[in-house]
């Protein structure tokens, strides 16, 4: 059997090779020219976060849809907080609450009805029911809705398998989205949710449930090995997550007094009950701090890693050590940049917008920030 399969694959390989030679001879192309043609393709990655504030498509997502529509080499990713305020809701399908939340999600997928590239969605804190009780059920429900809805409402090449990671698990899930890029999807809210009354997806090995600590260790070993694949194969690794590693936006405010009260005094009972949910999404909160430290430590072992996120409702770009950090959370909301805590190459907090990264010729990558309106590009930089 093995022999048959071996000779079959050899035959396919020979047929493919003959095809390329015939094609080249017929069109009078040398192998170098054929290579050049494949090199000329630009693969675009559209990054847009926090786009689900309305029951109609927000203007920035509408621009992304228009710009990517005829490009089968494009990948679009929604970077979380896909439906405000509490994700796609579960319950009586005729209730206004459920209907509106499904509509907010549905219009975003439907905007890509003729798109034949790849379309992905990752969860944010609002998709986990705004960090309230029932967040795990909420994020599972949203995934089921997104994957099912995408089957009939988009021509994306991955329709039916759009939202990752699933089951309230942290990931990492890697997709080879084009010859130059491995995209690694993670659910950062998994670290911020795991509290009393706030269950999270449980990893299993051979049917045995892992503790959060064990699952956390497993995650970072896996992330490290995926980044290593990028390094050894000479491809870009693009991590996409909802929560930023670096931000100068609203979510880097420290709220020191209140944070200390709910974390280190008897008032932490309020933290256990989830009353401190407004803080959990800020980078100084202990769970976030810990996750961020581990992400940084893992990413810092490599160079030319891109980490893209949403969460803060603006556009920011950081080039720190040899890696690149992009915040693109200005899909449907806007919020001010606060003091410059981290050295930022570019930031914009006046407009709705999105980011595009163009990949070509192997290691070449260009970052663009676009805002809604006629003079749409506001920033352009080579990632090198």
* Binding site residues, Zn ion, CB under 5 A: 81, 124-125, 311
CB of 80 to Zn ion, least distance (A): 6
CB of 122 to Zn ion, least distance (A): 11
CB of 35 to Zn ion, least distance (A): 43
d(CA 150, CA 78): 14
Which pairing describes strands 364-371 and 353-360: parallel, antiparallel, or unpaired?
Answer: antiparallel
The token duo for 240 is 């996409």
The DSSP output letter for 3 is H
Strand partners, 318: 325
CB of 335 to Zn ion, least distance (A): 11
CA atoms lying within 13 Å on the CB side of residue 283: 21
Nearer to Zn ion, 307 or 359 (CB): 307
CB of 224 to Zn ion, least distance (A): 26
Task: Transcribe 110-163 into DSSP letters.
Answer: HTTTT--SEEEE---TTTTGGGSTTHHHHHHHHHHHHHHHHHHH---TTTT--B
Task: Transcribe 279-294 into DSSP letters.
Answer: HHTSTTSHHHHHHHHH
Residue nearest to Zn ion (CB): 311
Nearer to Zn ion, 125 or 237 (CB): 125
Q: Assign 64 to helix, strand or coil.
A: helix
Q: How many helices (H) and strands (E) does the chain have?
A: 11, 15
Tell which residue, 121, 177, 128, has the closest CA to residue 306.
177
Nearer to Zn ion, 81 or 147 (CB): 81
Q: Which residue has the tokens 């009586």?
A: 92
Please, is 189 exposed, middle or buried when counting C-beta atoms within 10 Å of its C-beta (0-12, 13-18, 19+)? Answer: buried
d(CA 356, CA 299): 21
CB of 250 to Zn ion, least distance (A): 10
Tell which residue, 194, 298, 317, 306, has the closest CA to residue 248.
317
Euclidean distance between the first and the last CA atom of the chain, given in angstroms as a whole number = 49
CB of 242 to Zn ion, least distance (A): 6
Nearer to Zn ion, 130 or 235 (CB): 130
Nearer to Zn ion, 130 or 351 (CB): 130
Strand partners, 54: none
The token duo for 294 is 């581990």
């Amino acid at each position: 059997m093995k022999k048959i399969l071996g000779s079959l694959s050899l035959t396919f390989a020979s047929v493919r090779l003959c095809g390329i030679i015939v094609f080249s001879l017929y069109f009078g192309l040398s192998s170098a020219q054929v290579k050049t043609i494949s090199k000329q393709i630009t693969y675009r990655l559209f990054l847009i976060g926090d786009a689900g504030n309305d029951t109609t498509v927000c203007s920035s997502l509408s621009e992304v849809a228009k710009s990517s529509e005829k490009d089968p080499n494009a990948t679009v990713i929604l970077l979380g907080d896909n439906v405000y305020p509490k994700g796609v809701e579960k319950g009586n399908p005729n209730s206004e609450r459920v209907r509106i939340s499904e509509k907010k999600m549905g219009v975003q997928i439907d905007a890509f009805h003729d798109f034949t590239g790849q379309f992905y969605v990752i969860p944010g804190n609002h998709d986990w029911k705004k960090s309230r009780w029932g967040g795990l059920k909420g994020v599972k429900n949203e995934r089921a809705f997104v994957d099912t809805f995408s089957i009939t409402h988009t021509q994306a090449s991955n329709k039916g398998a759009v939202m990752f990671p699933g089951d309230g698990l942290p990931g990492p899930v890697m997709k080879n989205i084009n010859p130059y890029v491995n995209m690694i999807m993670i659910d950062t809210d998994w670290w911020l949710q795991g509290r009393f009354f706030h269950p999270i997806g449980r990893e299993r090995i051979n049917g045995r449930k892992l503790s959060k600590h064990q699952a956390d260790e497993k995650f970072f070993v896996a992330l490290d090995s995926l980044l290593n694949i990028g390094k050894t194969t000479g491809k870009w690794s693009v991590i996409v997550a909802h929560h930023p590693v670096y931000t100068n936006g609203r979510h880097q405010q420290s709220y020191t007094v209140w944070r200390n009260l709910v974390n280190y005094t008897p008032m932490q009972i309020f933290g256990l009950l989830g009353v401190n949910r407004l803080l959990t999404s800020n980078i100084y909160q202990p769970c976030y701090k810990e996750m961020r430290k581990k992400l940084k430590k893992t990413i810092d072992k490599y160079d030319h890693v891109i980490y893209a996120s949403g969460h803060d409702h603006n556009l920011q770009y950081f080039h720190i050590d040899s890696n690149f950090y992009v915040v693109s959370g200005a899909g449907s909301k806007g919020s001010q940049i606060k003091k410059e805590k981290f050295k930022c190459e570019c930031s914009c907090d006046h407009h709705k917008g999105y980011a595009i990264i163009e990949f070509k010729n192997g290691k070449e990558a260009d970052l663009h920030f676009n805002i809604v309106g006629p003079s749409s590009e506001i920033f352009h930089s080579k990632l090198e």
